[in-house]
Structure 1
Amino acid sequence: MSQVPQIRIPATYMRGGTSKGVFFRLQDLPEAAQAPGPARDALLQRVIGSPDPYQKQIDGMGGATSSTSKTVILSPSTRPDHDVDYLFGQVSIDKPFVDWSGNCGNLTAAVGAFAIHSGFVPRERIPDNGVCTVRIWQANIGKTIIAHVPIHDGAVQETGDFELDGVTFPAAEIQIEFMDPADGEGAMFPTGQVVDDLEVPGVGTLKATLINAGIPTIFVNAADLGYTGKELQDDINGHAEALAMFETIRAHGAVRMGLIRDVSEAAARQHTPKVAFVAPPADYVASSGKTIQAGDIDLLVRALSMGKLHHAMMGTAAVAIATAAAVPGTLVNLAAGGGERTQVTFGHPSGTLRVGAEARAVDGQWTATKAIMSRSARILMEGWVRVPGDAF
């Protein structure tokens, strides 16, 4: 039996919003993994514990959900007027690949804090008490994100009384601004329409809003699929037929958005696009047991990530929701009652979330200047992560 010593790599395990991930500084990675390619992907998969046919990630840092099978690499920014370059890798749980096609909005909150902790922000820019502004270059999608991180006694403030549904304990509030969130030279609506007829074999022709903002997202009406918008994870994730239907919608929507050429390519692009269904506000009981009143929300949204209904809401999908809500006539806007809006509060499986966005039409094309939301972040563990030396 061969014996290969383990190596150890400096790493930090952080919660950001309703996600968790393993954070690395680029310079701390083994030399073979400091550049994009198979070695980096293999290393990150081994760190997380993938691919795992048991879908448990017992032999790694992952938590066997899309929200916890995540990695982040930070480095000094190569862009003017930015502090840090942020690269996000969504690690597949049961397949041997890392998806680099999009951002993680939830972990963005942790990026700002990690950048300060790791020395990427000059000391003179960090107040003794107040807020430190961290300018982040999101390398996956080529966008600027601004994190406003609270500082107390010269250090990142992590504890506080800000409550985020989907996160058990309160923490300090971090405001995130996603600048120019539309993906691809401002092409918010890749088909040129705010609502399309999306033909999905085996499902039918669905009204759909296809938007590139925050992350490419396909919005459909809950009622068109036989749902109410009040569903929780078990209502969807326990039904293989439902999951297969959503994956078919996602694949055909991806082709319509120009993200892939053929539906067969969707399996290798699990992170994007997202698919979500919307409905007008209604009373429901969240997964925590808390009753959400229809009068406290503008609409209901449920979204799938990596093939499963998300337990709360992905941060990038929340940006898409905010942006779509700001454009009259989208399915999101109509579910919220229509008209002009700069913010909405939506109900998700774990509770509610308020998001805002600014959108305007220029020469007949919609564009967004920014989207705003609040999250929180906290270091859970720091030190070294260990992997077998032949893992990459």
Structure 2
Amino acid sequence: MSGGVPAVLMRGGTSKGVFLHARDVPPPGPRRDALVLDLMGSPDPMQIDGLGGTYSSTSKVMIVEPGPDSGVSYWFGQVGVDSPTVDWSGNCGNLTTAVAAFAVDEGLVPAVSPVTSVLLFNRNTDVWVEAEVPVENGRVRTHGTQRVAGVPRPGAPIATHYQDPAGSVTGRLLPTGRGLDVLDLPEGRLRVSVVDAASAFVFALAADLDVVTRARTVAQMNADEQLLERIESVRGAAARLMGSVERAEDAARLSPAVPRIVLVAPGGDVAVADLDVVAVSMGAVHRALPMTAALCLAAAARIPGTVVNAAARTDGCGKALRIAHPLGEVEAVSDVDSPADDAPAIRSVGVVRTARRLMKGTVYPFDEELTAADAEAEFE
């Protein structure tokens, strides 16, 4: 690896990340983290000396290898921009779409026209994902009419279905054992719902935090330090409640991505959306919506008593849940057993996105001592 690391830069939905083969990087552990931080140029708000894109949605890495049952295994790393952290505890719904496309074009699965079914196994959460990838002439087809809010050009649709997603991170659909909790905060009491489907999220009503969705731009909200601090205090309290940290004030440092937080409100127009949301990722308001959030929202809307179920104009039963976010709208579907139960069984959740390979080449670490050969020798 002294000559560099083979890499592919891919867009999946509204995220972008660096894709690496597991064979080309150290095993999971501190040395892998150090290499990832090096390649991405973190910590640095500009990530000027690496491949990171300065936003949480563009500071991501996927490490991929052949998996069980003729499928593909992958690890998702959320890379801190201005902090030296790589969080392997969750998953990225947008880039999971790109993993399926990567697997076809890299020959990890046989390419079958017109659609190749790819079985994915996320090592972070132990969740299986079934993907349907359009293929033409032995390669992933990227041209099409599927539009994704936040992506300037349409593309070919890639559908992903997350099987048995409940408890992906915490082991329980409702990590606190309840669909609704009340947090005691310095500003007063706040109703929240902590739900773990595809990934773990804490949901709160936007109005309870004095946030009026679409009243301010993402940039304006990110410039409001008091708002971000208040949202992080809620996230930290929820992290403590679900057992991710012992003290709420430690959540930003010890558990920056679990849970993530989404503020929800009823859709502004029943003909347009069922929910209007603002998501926060790694301490900043997200410019769009993480797809794991959309998946979790689709599940939470089907759980009676949650703030999502109360706010949504529909619980999504029998149709897609329409979710408005700062860049547009996305639909997510859920397949649920006994939706009238307090804690229904979530069979699957799914979305349709697009993905595209942007670049394939070699990325050069600044620290040439972070080599796969050295790491293998160290771990033998």
TM-score above 0.5, yes or no: yes
Task: Please list the CA deviations of residues 92-146 of structure 1 after superposition, one character each: whole Å capped at 9, or x if unmatched.
Answer: 111112111110111000000111112211x3xx32x211110001000111011
2:303–2:343 contact (8 Å) kept in structure 1: no
Q: In structure 2, the residue corresponding to 1:328 is in which secondary structure?
A: coil
Q: Residues 1-392 of structure 1: matches in 2 within 5 Å?
A: 7-29=3-25, 33=26, 35-52=27-44, 55-77=45-67, 79=68, 81-121=69-109, 123=110, 126-127=111-112, 129-183=113-167, 187-200=172-185, 202-230=186-214, 231-266=216-251, 267-282=253-268, 294-337=270-313, 341-342=317-318, 343-361=320-338, 365-390=343-368, 392=370
Paired residue type of 2:327: S
Q: Distance in 1 between matches of 2:240 and 2:151?
A: 34
What is the CA distance between 1:251 and its match in structure 2?
0.8
TM superposition shift of 1:44: 0.5
**Aligned-pair distance for 1:339?**
5.3
Secondary structure (helix, strand or coil) at the match of 2:152 reads coil
In structure 1, what residue type is equivalent to 2:364?
A: R
Whether the 8 Å CA contact 1:211–1:320 is kept in 2: the answer is yes
AA paired with 1:70? K
How far did 1:186 drift?
Answer: 5.8
- Structure 2 unaligned segments of length 5 or more: list them: 371-380
Pick closer, same or farther for the CA change 1:219–1:391 going to 2, 3 Å: farther
Listed one character per residue, the Cα deviations across residues 70-111 of structure 1 (whole Å, up to 9, x for unaligned) are 01100111x3x2511110111111111211111011100000
Q: Structure 1: 5+ residue runs without aligned partners?
A: 283-292
TM-score, normalised to structure 2, is 0.91
Count of residue pairs brought into register by the alignment = 365
Question: SS of the counterpart of 1:187?
Answer: coil
1:6–1:388 CA contact under 8 A, matched in 2 = no
* 1:299 to partner: Cα distance: 1.5
Distance 1:192 1:346 in 2: 26
TM-score after normalising by structure 1 = 0.89
Distance 1:365-1:297 versus aligned 2 partners, 3 A rule: closer
The answer (yes or no) to whether the contact 2:18–2:60 under 8 Å persists in 1 is: yes
Q: Give the drift of 1:265.
A: 3.3
Q: Distance in 1 between matches of 2:283 and 2:99?
A: 25
Per-residue CA deviation, residues 333-358 of structure 1 (Å, 9 max, x unaligned), is 22113556243101100000111112
Q: Secondary structure at the match of 1:388?
A: coil
Conserved 8 A contact 2:207-2:265? yes
The code of the aligned residue for 2:157 comes to: E
Matched residues in 1 for 2:218 and 2:313: separation? 26
* Corresponding letter in the other structure for 1:347: A
Deviation at 1:269, TM superposition (A): 1.7
1:92–1:391 distance in 2 versus 1, CA, 3 Å: farther
CA change 1:224–1:83 in 2 (3 A) is same
Residue aligned with 2:348, SS:
strand
Code of the aligned partner of 1:251: G
Identity score, percent: 38
Shift of 1:367: 2.2
Letter of the aligned partner of 1:370 in structure 2? Answer: S
Moved over 6 A (4+): none
Aligned residues of 2:38 and 2:367 also touching (Cα < 8 A): no
Query: Over aligned residue pairs, what C-alpha RMSD do you find?
Result: 1.9
Q: Which amino acid aligns with 1:300?
A: D
Q: Is the 8 A contact 1:73 1:88 kept in 2?
A: yes
CA–CA distance in 2 between the matches of 1:354 and 1:223? Answer: 23
User: Structure 1 18/183 Cα, relative in aligned 2: closer, same or farther at 3 Å?
Assistant: same
Q: Partner amino acid for 1:256?
A: L
Which residue identity does 2:22 align to in structure 1? L
